[in-house]
Amino acid sequence: MQVEITREYIEEVEQAIERQDKDYILGTMEDMHPADITTVLYELDANESRFVLDTLPPELGSEILSDLDYDIRSEFLDNFTSQEVARYVNLMDSDDAVDILNEMSVQTREEVIALLENEEKAAAILDLLHYEEDCAGGLMAKELIKVNLNWRVRQCIEEIRRQAEQVERFYTVYVVDNRDILVGRVSVKKLLLSKDDAQVKDIYSEDVISIESYKDESEVVSIMQRYDLEAIPVTNIQGRLLGRITIDDMVDVMQEQAELSRQLMTGITENVEEDDSVLRISRARLPWLVIGMVGGMLAAQFMGMFESDIAILPALALFVPLITATGGNVGIQSSSIIIQTLSSNEVMFDNIGKRFLKVLLVALLNAAIISLLVFSLTYLFRRDLSLSLVVSIALFSVVMLASLMGTITPMVLDKFGINPAVAAGPFITTANDLLGLAIYFGVAHMLYSL
């Protein structure tokens, strides 16, 4: 039965839980996608969610647990015994199982592993627990399909049938030698179309892209995006096949990285969410707010140097927000593109002359359009040719300078090992404010002879 997740349905689920109506829960959720059930659980408390999970088949429950957010799952699993957790972990892929076990205390983790019925799964989990969470080894699953280089096709197909029981989905068959060294891959289609007595070494392809287990998750993302891979095998330094990373796991990593980058660009230095504590959210936001405040104070002090000029021509003060805001916006736009390129591990310093020429042309076009527009509007409303020229010339210069600053600053910060996503925004904004004001009042001095 297809069920639409609405506020009314959530209320019906809560009522069913209150009257202990397992038939309603099972009837409406058994054919639901695990991700949809997860959405329902987010609206329930821990005890209500526990009732739902106990009612559903363990296979479905294991998928739901794998899909839950970290914070919700940690609170949720506090209500489970080690025996109950082991029942679900036994049905998960090894990488998902390790993610859950890493959220538990060492004692609970060891109890769960000891209670696992599948010894092969337990061994795979123990192996994966040695890796850091943000490296290729920590992301991989041990479940995969592999065949020996010297096997015949008949034996390969039999082995695939056996191994496929432990693998939910597979995209390719990996080929290893007698030492378990990854040497290539072979498609299932090619195996099925080949003669039964043909050897793998005669039909496999050496064209296989792999990654070492110690590599950072950002490198995994970069490789899978560059080569449009659905899965990538993981090896140790010697080339021994250890596991594989699938695209569904990398989508989660990509989302986390995108969210973190967005937060860093806005000056939030920690990965925070709406339901985090007030102290944690404040701590993540405050450092760069303070830096921005210091930058604003510097700009105010700098502007005070031109107080006498403003006293002679008060209209100059009207356009200070325009100069500073435009410079800041242009700088952030330019830096965002460079930071995106840096985060994707593209080579920045190849054809650097061509890159800067393009930045210059874009800046020239934008500066010309904006300055002409501002000149026209200022003259239309103020009927002061000199003031219109001051504002438009200053704005043209500020757009050009801000584009250059926004391009160079992230590259320099990255070269010195400073995360440009965090530091570029406040640094560029403050620098552009000071330089923009200097240009603005400098042009005013030349044209008005103040």
- CATH number at 320 reads 1.10.357.20
Single-letter amino acid code for the residue at 152: R
Which tokens hold the place of 246? 């699938």
Q: CA-to-CA distance for 241 and 11, rounded, in angstroms?
A: 49
Q: Are residues 357 and 310 both part of a single domain?
A: yes
Q: CA-to-CA distance for 398 and 417, rounded, in angstroms?
A: 28
Q: CA-to-CA distance for 289 and 335, rounded, in angstroms?
A: 19
pLDDT at position 73 is 82
The strands making up 173-176's β-sheet, listed across from edge to edge, are 146-148, 173-176, 182-186
- CA distances (Å), 363 to each of 181, 281, 349, 371, 439, in order? 52, 37, 20, 12, 17
Residue 421 has pLDDT above 70, yes or no: no
319, 443 Cβ separation under 8 angstroms: no
Q: What is the mean pLDDT of the chain?
A: 83
Burial of 268 (0-12, 13-18, 19+ CB in 10 A): buried
Q: Are residues 339 and 389 both part of a single domain?
A: yes
Q: Is 270 within the bounds of a domain?
A: no
**Count of the separate structural domains present in the chain:** 3
How would residue 78 be classed by pLDDT, with cut points 50, 70 and 90? Answer: confident
Q: Is 272 within the bounds of a domain?
A: no
Phi, psi of 282 (to 5 degrees): -65, -40
How many Cβ atoms from other residues are within 10 Å of residue 334's Cβ? 24
Q: Is 1 within the bounds of a domain?
A: no
Q: CA-to-CA distance for 403 and 331, rounded, in angstroms?
A: 5
Q: Are residues 20 and 124 both part of a single domain?
A: yes
CATH number assigned to the domain comprising residue 34? 1.25.60.10
- Top pLDDT among 331 and 58 is at 58
Q: Are residues 124 and 152 both part of a single domain?
A: no
Burial of 422 (0-12, 13-18, 19+ CB in 10 A): buried
Q: Is 260 within the bounds of a domain?
A: no
Closest residue by Cα to residue 155 from 188, 199, 185, 204: 199
399, 361 Cβ separation under 8 angstroms: no
Q: Is 53 within the bounds of a domain?
A: yes
How would residue 277 be classed by pLDDT, with cut points 50, 70 and 90? Answer: low
Q: Is 266 within the bounds of a domain?
A: no
Residue 6 has pLDDT above 80, yes or no: yes
Q: CA-to-CA distance for 211 and 136, rounded, in angstroms?
A: 7
pLDDT at position 260 is 63
What would the mean pLDDT of 76-88 be, rounded to a whole number? Answer: 87
Residue 268 has pLDDT above 60, yes or no: no
Q: Are residues 109 and 152 both part of a single domain?
A: no
Q: pTM for this one?
A: 0.65
Sequence-distant (≥ 6) Cβ neighbours of residue 207 within 8 angstroms: 184, 185
Q: CA-to-CA distance for 341 and 356, rounded, in angstroms?
A: 14
- CA distances (Å), 26 to each of 11, 55, 60, 438, in order? 16, 7, 11, 70
Q: Are residues 117 and 153 both part of a single domain?
A: no
Q: Are residues 344 and 378 both part of a single domain?
A: yes
Q: Are residues 310 and 429 both part of a single domain?
A: yes
Q: Are residues 292 and 392 both part of a single domain?
A: yes
Q: Are residues 250 and 129 both part of a single domain?
A: no
Q: Are residues 15 and 121 both part of a single domain?
A: yes
Q: What percent of the chain lies above the pLDDT cut of 70?
A: 86
Residue 1 has pLDDT above 60, yes or no: no
Q: Give the residue carrying structure tokens 């640094």.
A: 427
How would residue 265 be classed by pLDDT, with cut points 50, 70 and 90? Answer: low
Q: CA-to-CA distance for 260 and 136, rounded, in angstroms?
A: 19
Q: Is 394 within the bounds of a domain?
A: yes
Q: Give the residue carrying structure tokens 């060294």.
A: 181
How many Cβ atoms from other residues are within 10 Å of residue 217's Cβ? 21
pLDDT digits (tens, 9 = 90+) for 201-247: 999 999 999 999 999 988 898 899 888 888 999 999 999 999 999 88
CATH number assigned to the domain comprising residue 195? 3.10.580.10
216 bridge partner residues: 135
Q: Are residues 89 and 163 both part of a single domain?
A: no
Q: Is 167 within the bounds of a domain?
A: yes
pLDDT at position 148 is 94
- Full domain range(s) for residue 213: 146-255
Q: CA-to-CA distance for 208 and 357, rounded, in angstroms?
A: 38
